[in-house]
Structure 1
């Protein structure tokens, strides 16, 4: 891209969110919106008017993705699906998928927010002026409003309670047989919503249930509504940070004693420790010798009515590697596969009747060879504007002492903000 013009202003995050809502509604903007108070806080970013797009298929190579991301200095925003990760790991699937295996875009204009500062950068002066007018004008009317077309019937489940608990029991057998020692099993909730306004739903969820990796992305007739709390990999001037989440405690009324209850749980602690070891191994090949270290192990944050346990895994990217080398060697994230990764993914493919698609893949912002950020696309929904299907996914980590009924209840807790839609 050639010369770009820039406008900057200091403002509150809520005002930027309302500005972003207008860009999505009026200019079909793609959104990545972060939130304060979370360990994986990131820069919010809005892309407007795509000028280049890469739709990833089964024949797209990592080298082609690199070429798209690095051939100009403009940031790329989009998603890479779990299904593409299966190809990278050599896990075959014959399940139909409605989504491309990934979709990355570069834009005529980018709006970003970090540290109380909003910046708009555009190659088109008229577009910059239009966005600046929206940012500096009245934004009260952009506050989240009522969501129309919400489902009024229970969802269809790809694995209902009986099916999910049977899947947990089969996973326990596989653990005892030595084929896996932790596995993430998911189910899919589906509704037919012919009158749903998916953007209104996304903005209402963002307002009522903040998290650090909210993403609204358009991909043909498909919409991604990701409300993820989990960072996969961040690379900042070569410094690598992964923040895997494992260990969950749902609550109705919070009290400080619940934190100790979570950290002292042998089962939840084992889940986190296994995945931290996997992440350390996954990033080590692309990091300098002896730079990989773990900090803040078994830290806790709250999102929705859940306590989540996490750790910080650091490293330094080798000079002869770039951020996409790191991403693809570690993809998909270990917290949504299990250990060992490839064999766990094969079992997941066998036990789950649905294709995950973008769920458990990653939302990514790739800036250059040594700077990117990415989420684990959990707490994520998709909406098909042609079939009017809303799909929501949730899962849990299975280890040797997991209880089938408890794991099913954990999936319901993680999907709770979506499952209550029809009650609003």
Structure 2
């Protein structure tokens, strides 16, 4: 399920796949051609995800972290239910047949419901990095920046709680209705249930027209007050964060786009989500005729906004500093419609529920640059994690 809540201009479609008919389990060594063969085998969307772990292999970054999370998982469905919140129109497509009740259930999942916070979300939250350890990680990152190994790096921590009675789908629907963001996604991979509440697009390809919308620059704000927006957009630190990533994205997509077509038509735009002001830019281009959306996706993966600059060196440092595996976090949820049509998110504000262990994992991070303050970066990281925490809950 990829579900954009109502109210997001230009992001009004929700997709639900019913009755999987084929699937591709992506492994660390899965070649691009295998993904293309599956995604383009027949008309109709393929839904799924690629994990950050798969990106490590693409960028040649070794990791010794132990994780059984899949490198990626794609599915094709007998039925796709599409709902457009702007027009209130629902369409059903696909080669298979489904009962009226299944379609009704899919429609209900797209309709705002006054869910209360799920009762099963309890248990002590354990962090892979304590407050002190995260701030020490920021200081070590600053040393790497001064030594010239990176000039921006996204440092994250992992938050886990044991809550075996949790209904993760109820949590997903509660968050979608109470804390809307443009790129919600739900996906089941064996015993693992991915629930993503991402505000960030990675790459969209619409009939060959490419759009990336990296987010960099964050400020806590209950409302999008004009004076706060101005403070964010005029901050030298936040401006540097976004501008560096925009340059990285331009470079990442240029090889697969027509020469001279890559542009930044909108820079330092601001939107309000999760009680935060987020700054982003539009990076556009035209896909080359001899390339397809999977070429573009894999050549740019994982997204620069959640790795850093330069990408490979930053990812090596991330793997050294973070004691946890990122798994799907900072990977991407995908809807591939054809060789020149695709949309994808950056899997931030994302959690995974393991039905075997009853553990809910989520992650959060912030971008570190040379003038970053360790305590401020920790507070920003925890602000981004609030969706999956109780008010004033402090991880241990």
The TM-score with structure 2 as length reference comes to: 0.95
> Which of 16, 31, 39 is residue 69 of structure 1 equivalent to?
39
Residue 266 of structure 1 pairs with residue 236 of structure 2: yes
> Which of 95, 119, 122 is residue 148 of structure 1 equivalent to?
119
* Alpha-carbon offset, residue 150 of structure 1: 1.2
Task: Name the structure 2 match of 1:386.
Answer: 356
Total equivalences in the alignment: 391
* Alpha-carbon offset, residue 193 of structure 1: 0.6
Task: Name the structure 1 match of 2:96.
Answer: 124
Task: Name the structure 2 match of 1:6.
Answer: none
Over the aligned positions, Cα root-mean-square deviation in angstroms equals 2.0
* Alpha-carbon offset, residue 136 of structure 1: 8.3
Task: Name the structure 2 match of 1:219.
Answer: 189
Task: Name the structure 1 match of 2:299.
Answer: 329
* Alpha-carbon offset, residue 158 of structure 1: 0.5
Q: How has the CA–CA distance of structure 1 residues 270 and 74 changed in structure 2, closer, same or farther, with 3 Å as cutoff?
A: same
> Which of 2, 6, 11 is residue 41 of structure 1 equivalent to?
11
Looking at structure 2, the residues matched to 405 and 340 of structure 1 have their Cα atoms a distance apart, in angstroms, of 24
Residue 347 of structure 1 pairs with residue 304 of structure 2: no
Looking at structure 2, the residues matched to 66 and 46 of structure 1 have their Cα atoms a distance apart, in angstroms, of 22
Q: How has the CA–CA distance of structure 1 residues 346 and 133 changed in structure 2, closer, same or farther, with 3 Å as cutoff?
A: closer
Tell whether the 8 Å contact from 2:5 to 2:176 is kept in structure 1 after alignment: no
After TM superposition, list the pairs within 5 Å mapping 1:226-375 onto structure 2: 226-252=196-222, 254-375=224-345
Looking at structure 2, the residues matched to 394 and 248 of structure 1 have their Cα atoms a distance apart, in angstroms, of 13
Task: Name the structure 2 match of 1:96.
Answer: 66
Deviations 1:155-179 (A, max 9, x none): 1110111110000000000000000
Looking at structure 2, the residues matched to 404 and 242 of structure 1 have their Cα atoms a distance apart, in angstroms, of 29
SS of equivalent residue, structure 1 residue 217: strand
Q: How has the CA–CA distance of structure 1 residues 259 and 60 changed in structure 2, closer, same or farther, with 3 Å as cutoff?
A: same
Deviations 1:302-356 (A, max 9, x none): 0011000000000000000000000000000000000000000000000000000
Deviations 1:96-129 (A, max 9, x none): 113110000000110012342211114233x154
Looking at structure 2, the residues matched to 178 and 112 of structure 1 have their Cα atoms a distance apart, in angstroms, of 48
Q: How has the CA–CA distance of structure 1 residues 327 and 152 changed in structure 2, closer, same or farther, with 3 Å as cutoff?
A: same
> Which of 375, 384, 393 is residue 414 of structure 1 equivalent to?
384
Q: How has the CA–CA distance of structure 1 residues 205 and 88 changed in structure 2, closer, same or farther, with 3 Å as cutoff?
A: same
Looking at structure 2, the residues matched to 186 and 143 of structure 1 have their Cα atoms a distance apart, in angstroms, of 32
Structure 1: where are the runs of 5+ without partners? 1-30
Deviations 1:274-318 (A, max 9, x none): 000000000000000110000220110000110000000000000
Q: How has the CA–CA distance of structure 1 residues 134 and 385 changed in structure 2, closer, same or farther, with 3 Å as cutoff?
A: closer
The TM-score with structure 1 as length reference comes to: 0.88
Q: Identify the range of structure 1 (379-388 vs 110-119) with the bigger mean alpha-carbon deviation.
A: 110-119
> Which of 53, 56, 68 is residue 23 of structure 2 equivalent to?
53
Tell whether the 8 Å contact from 1:38 to 1:301 is kept in structure 2 after alignment: no
Moved over 3 A (4+): 36-40, 128-143
Tell whether the 8 Å contact from 2:127 to 2:160 is kept in structure 1 after alignment: yes
SS of equivalent residue, structure 1 residue 405: helix
* Alpha-carbon offset, residue 417 of structure 1: 1.8
